[in-house]
Structure 1
Amino acid sequence: MTQHATQITHRSVTSPAGRIHLVEQGSGPLVLLVHGFPESWYSWRHQLPALAAAGYRAVAVDVRGYGRSSRPAPVDAYRMLDLVEDNVRVVRALGEESAVVVGHDWGATIAAHSALLRPEVFRAVGLLSVPYTPPGGPRPSDVFTRLGGGAEEFYVAYFQEPGRAEAEVEPDVRGWLAGFYAALSADTMPAPGAPDPHFVARGGTLRDRFPQGRLPGWLSEDDLDVYAGEFERTGLTGALNRYRAMDRDWEDLAAHAGAPLTQPSLFVGGSQDASTTWLADAIEAYPVTLPGLVASHVLDGCGHWIQQERPEDVNRILVDWLAAVTA
């Protein structure tokens, strides 16, 4: 490995949000890494050195609303069209014409739409945890409101009212994050048959169903300090506004209803991750929705935080896929 590949560089670039903070390591073809909720560029700490060592310019961003990136106030500032434009601006600011984009959780959806809307910039797309589902269908808020019936409320619906989830999180950001991460990790998630942490009992909070007292194996106290430190500084409103902009996306992207992603693509999910299991139909539809699919993997015994729970497996899969799509 060269000395250059071992160096991590922090910088900010101008975007419609104001600024996007990024972390860069290595040189070669550009690979843009986009995190999910509630995370940061730090979610890719295991992938940055591995991709750099394999001969890539690995760049992990703080999505707008997170970390050191700008946090616009209006909910509309978190619509998918603006997040895609942020990614385009990052590629251009780095002096590149195109990139491979890889995302996890919400980052997977942002990566997919970046590839859908700007195929001339994003020539291949990797999706971790959340399968691609084309735009269209019912209005998102209607779907999420119906989930859970009368006794429970789906977490996405719970997040919709500004200030409501913030009031739950703010008194103990570190403890809330620890519980959220544990709830979706294979080694600490609630046992089958226990109340589902994706739902809130009427009058309750999400935290009521979080595991307590044990961090998942992938998350050290120091790692938790990094995440907690960022959200204690920024709050969670910017992150939560992504959920609050979903109906606006539904309107913005209506012309793309049913559209496939035709670029070379990758999917990696976890067998214990609800994002993978609940969306099994989306995975089955890949011959139609991802006609350029190069590889699809479901990691046995893995939860939601896939690139942190199983970094060696994910690094190997990414490097092998990148070799195929950047040759």
Structure 2
Amino acid sequence: MSQHAEEFTHHLVPTPGGRIHLVEQGSGPLVLLVHGFPESWYSWRHQLPVLAAAGYRAVALDVRGYGRSSKPTATEAYRMLDLVEDNVSVVRALGEESAVVIGHDWGATIAANSALLRPEVFRAVGLLSVPYTPRGGPRPSDLFQQMGGDEEFYVSYFQQAGRAEAEIEPEVRGWLAGFYAALSADTMAAPGAPDPHFASRGGTLRERFSAGRLPAWLGERDLDFYAGEFERSGMTGALNRYRNMDRDWEDLASFDGAPLPQPSLFISGSQDASTTWLADAIKAYPVTLPGLVSSHILDGCGHWIQQERPAEVNRLLTEWLAALPA
């Protein structure tokens, strides 16, 4: 049975960019869990107690801009370099020299770049839902604009300051429910329906969400928690991650095409668009992830993998962690 927010140990740690909110369980080697959009430390509620019971110091954070972590006002304060340094600062503040870092969605990209930029700190990396794609190719904003055609890709939509906030913030709970359902295997639209990753020109993403039931993994209490976090914080800090992709592309130019040599793990869902869109990135793992220990595509699973299939993900994580060098 999943624990609820009030049952975990919460604290704040200082970083150069402010303070990062942490939730911690257990003792032993440090495992740092990094969430994606639009989520929270709470996305790891099923993993924290299991990792703690397996002998690890499991720590989930609110990424900068989310929940109870600091929310700088400057858009450029959310560039990848700053998020990596937040992770390093968390490890140091916890009195540790190194950690295994595991991320989901944007958290997977943050985890990968943490391992890439600070290999002396992050000794292994686990990626959930979003494959490792080394820096390269055209400027991201140019690429995403080309993807839409007569429609607008969600990343381009999110990159426009204030536009997504105007859609989401008047009714956060309903928007989150629709977004979570649209990318969950048991509630996503049928094949051939309008793709919720795109908006009509001048329209909203919400127009593509199907009204109806919540996905099986998302209880009313869970949705209340997520909604409460974003109602308090607003959406801008979370969305600013998308608004720094071109800056990241410039900042990481010296890492163009760089592989991740650390021991790694990849888990994704067969019904996750990231699995199909980035199939070539997964095929390239022998080159880009030379330390890959195991890779898994969970049949019939959507995007919210550690919440949709917690028992299976927990088994894969603990088996991988147990096999890592001390």
1:116 aligns with 2:116: yes
Q: Give 1:207 shift.
A: 0.2
In the alignment, does 2:234 pair up with 1:224? no
Report the Cα offset of residue 326 of structure 1. 4.3
Once the two structures are superposed, what CA deviation does each residue of 1:129-183 show, in whole Å capped at 9, x if it has no partner?
000000121100000011121x200000001111000000011100000000000
Over aligned residues, Cα RMSD in angstroms? 0.7
SS state at 2:123 partner:
strand
Q: Which amino acid in structure 2 is aligned with residue 132 of structure 1? A: Y
CA contact (8 A) 1:29 1:326 kept: no
State the identity as a percent.
82
Task: Establish whether residue 66 from structure 1 lines up as the match of residue 38 from structure 2.
Answer: no
Cα pair 1:136 1:253 within 8 Å, conserved: no
Q: Which runs of 5+ in 1 are unaligned?
A: 1-6
Distance 1:213 1:235 in 2: 25
Name 2:144's counterpart in structure 1. 144
1:189-235 per-residue CA deviation (whole Å, 9 max, x = no partner) reads 01000000000011210000011121000000000000000000000
CA shift, 1:8, in A, is 2.8
Partner of 1:3: none
- Which residue pairs with 2:42 in the alignment? 42
Quote the Cα distance in structure 1 between the aligned partners of 2:62 and 2:292: 27
| TM-score using structure 1 length | 0.97
Match of 2:3 in 1: none
The residue identity in structure 1 corresponding to 2:156 is: A
| Deviant stretches of 4+, over 3 Å | none
2:136 & 2:19 partners in 1: Cα distance? 30
* Alpha-carbon distance in 2 for matches of 1:24, 1:212: 36
**Residues of 2 paired with 1:317 and 1:83: CA distance?**
26
Residue aligning to 2:281 = 282
What letter is aligned with 1:278?
Answer: W
* Structure 2: stretches of 5+ with no match in the other structure: 1-6
Q: 1:258 maps to what in 2?
A: 257
Q: Matches of 1:170 and 1:124 in 2, distance apart?
A: 37
Matched residue type, 1:92: R
In the aligned structure 2, how far is the partner of 1:289 from the partner of 1:48? 29
Are 2:243 and 1:247 equivalent residues in the alignment?
A: no
Length-normalised TM-score, structure 2: 0.97
State the secondary structure of the residue aligned to 2:240.
helix
- What's the counterpart of residue 14 of structure 1? 14
What is the match of residue 158 of structure 1?
157
Return the alpha-carbon distance in structure 2 between the equivalents of residues 160 and 309 of structure 1. 28
Measured in 1, the distance between the counterparts of 2:193 and 2:92 equals: 48
